[in-house]
Structures are given as structure tokens and as C-alpha cells.
């Protein structure tokens, strides 16, 4: 289970109004005056779980206030989307809420962390939320990493899943395959090959390690003659590859040929490329 304390500052720091001493600030607000959070990263809501929550609310009421932000005489939902939707199902006229003013960035960040703490987001929803934070608010992956308490590489790997074909992304959203099974497919040469591999994953119930081996075999068959993957028996070059990866903060592959070879350095976004160029060319491009 994911340790909630690792998720950046957490909701309690982002929304100090959730602390018990602020309970006197809670107001009953008409559900008709609340608009859904336009920055909510979660697209799909489990109907069965919503009905279960609605049954609980019907019996015990809403035990934890939602958080809203005022906007043009109405309110935008900041945190508590499931409680808000369940209260609508029950037919409640009002819901307890803490009212605080938040900007767009805070709304997206709070909604993202709230869902991450419950592990409610699919890998695709998570990747879209990361990309939106980076694109809309000019964050680097390192800055985002510090804010939400996840490693830069984990963020980059999740965003990379967005480049998979729609068929595979749909399978990820349904839970037919996991992020660990899907990620190796990015190493395949084209979407047609990736989709065929995804079908095999589902029908054969392959593990993530089996997928990695399958991808490696496929890539090996398509590799140019005279080249081979760096052999495990060459500890010096293997250690050099590891040191390069640590230095650059990204995947590095060394391919040795009969004479010479090649060095591949991976980047996963324009921002990641700029970061690598600053490391490799500290004096700039002449």
C-alpha cells in the first residue's frame, strides 16, 4: 500500500482548512450552486462504489465536508467529488462544505493528490494530470516531483504511457493490463506491433517480466545485422552504462558492434531533452 506521507505535502498541508479546529467554518451549501471541478483528473467513477457511498450517506449523512472555491455567486468543487456525486444520488438539497479561494493550479494539484492518496486514478488519468500540471503551469518534472512526492522518473514513465495507441490506453483504463505490463511496449517499433503484443499479454496473462522478455526478443529480431545488445559478461561497459544513467537521470543503452558501436540516450519530452542538452552542452550550442 502506498504511504500517504510520501505524497508531497499532502492534502492537510495544501488544504489546512481540513483540520479539526476549522470545523466552525463549515457551511451548508446548496448542491445546485456547486459546479464540478474542471481540473478533476479522474474521468471514470465506479458506479457501484458511488452507490455504496450514497447508501452510507443516506444512513449517516456526509461525515466529512467537501471543499469549494467561490466563483461568480456559485462554487467550484475543489475536493470531495465522490461525496458530492453520492449526495446527488441520495437527493440531498445541501452538503457541508469549507469555502476557500483557490487558483486553478491549486484546484488541479489538490484533486490530483486526493485521488493519488486513494489510488483511484488509472495510469492514463494520472499521466494526463501530470502533463496538464507541467504544460498549463510551466512546471518541470523535478518541480512536480517535489510537490507531489513522486520521483521524476516515475512521473516521466507515467507520462510516456500517453504515447501508446488508444487501444492499449483503453485497456489500461479498464484494468485489463497494468502500467508495468504496458510500459515495455514503448520499446516496440510501431503501434501495430504494440497492439498485437498487448493482445498476447491479455490472452496469455503474461507477467511484466515476461512482457519485457518478449519485447527484448522482438527488438533483437529487428535489429540491424552486426549489432548486438551489450553483453552482461562485460562488467566494465555495463558499469559505465549505469554511471551514465545516474549522471543523466535517464535511460542509456550501449550497443556494441563488430567495430565500434552506438550510444543511445533516451528523453521523454521536449523539457526532458532541454534538461539533457544543458548537461551535455553546458556552454550552449555554438
β-strands 227-229, 94-99: how paired? Answer: unpaired
> What distance in Å separates the CA atoms of residue 83 and residue 50, rounded to the nearest whole number?
8
Residue 178 DSSP label:
-
Cα 4 to Cα 14: distance, rounded to the nearest angstrom: 14
User: What number of other Cβ atoms are within 10 A of residue 271's Cβ?
Assistant: 17
**Of these residues, 81, 114, 125, 126, which one is catalytic?**
81
**Rounded to an integer, what distance in angstroms lies between the CA atom of residue 251 and that of residue 241?**
9
Among candidates 82, 66, 58, which has minimal Cα distance to 25?
66
Judge residue 69's burial from the number of C-beta atoms within 10 Å of its C-beta, 0-12 exposed, 13-18 middle, 19 or more buried.
Answer: buried
Establish whether 23 is a catalytic residue.
no
3-class DSSP state for residue 252? strand
| Strand, coil or helix: 262 | strand
Point out the residues that are catalytic.
Answer: 81
Amino acid at each position: 500500500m502506498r504511504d500517504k506521507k510520501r505524497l508531497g505535502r499532502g492534502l492537510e498541508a495544501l488544504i489546512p482548512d481540513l483540520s479539526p479546529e476549522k470545523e466552525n467554518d463549515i457551511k451548508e451549501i446548496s448542491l445546485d450552486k456547486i459546479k464540478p471541478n474542471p481540473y478533476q483528473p479522474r474521468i471514470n467513477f465506479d458506479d457501484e462504489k458511488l452507490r455504496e457511498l450514497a447508501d452510507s450517506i443516506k444512513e449517516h449523512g456526509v461525515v466529512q465536508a467537501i471543499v469549494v472555491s467561490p466563483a461568480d455567486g456559485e462554487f467550484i468543487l475543489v475536493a470531495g467529488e465522490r461525496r458530492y456525486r453520492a449526495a446527488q444520488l441520495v437527493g440531498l438539497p445541501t452538503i457541508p462544505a469549507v469555502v476557500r479561494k483557490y487558483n486553478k493550479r491549486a484546484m488541479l494539484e489538490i484533486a490530483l493528490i486526493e485521488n493519488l492518496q486513494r489510488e483511484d486514478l488509472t495510469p492514463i488519468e494520472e499521466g494526463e494530470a501530470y502533463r496538464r500540471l507541467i504544460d498549463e503551469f510551466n512546471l518541470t518534472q523535478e518541480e512536480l516531483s517535489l510537490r507531489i512526492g513522486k520521483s521524476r522518473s516515475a512521473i516521466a514513465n507515467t507520462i510516456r504511457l500517453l504515447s501508446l495507441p488508444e487501444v492499449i490506453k483503453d485497456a489500461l483504463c479498464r484494468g485489463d493490463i497494468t502500467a508495468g505490463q504496458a510500459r515495455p511496449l514503448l520499446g516496440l517499433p510501431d503501434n501495430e506491433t504494440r497492439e498485437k503484443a498487448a493482445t498476447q499479454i491479455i490472452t496469455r496473462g503474461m507477467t511484466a517480466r515476461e512482457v519485457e522478455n518478449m519485447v527484448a526478443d522482438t527488438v533483437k529480431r529487428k535489429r540491424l545485422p552486426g549489432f548486438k545488445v551489450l553483453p552482461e559478461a562485460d562488467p566494465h561497459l555495463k558499469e559505465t552504462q549505469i554511471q551514465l544513467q545516474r549522471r543523466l537521470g535517464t535511460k542509456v543503452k550501449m550497443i556494441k558492434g563488430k567495430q565500434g558501436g552506438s550510444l543511445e540516450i533516451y528523453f521523454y519530452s521536449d523539457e526532458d531533452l532541454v534538461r539533457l542538452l544543458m548537461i551535455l552542452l553546458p556552454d550552449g550550442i555554438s
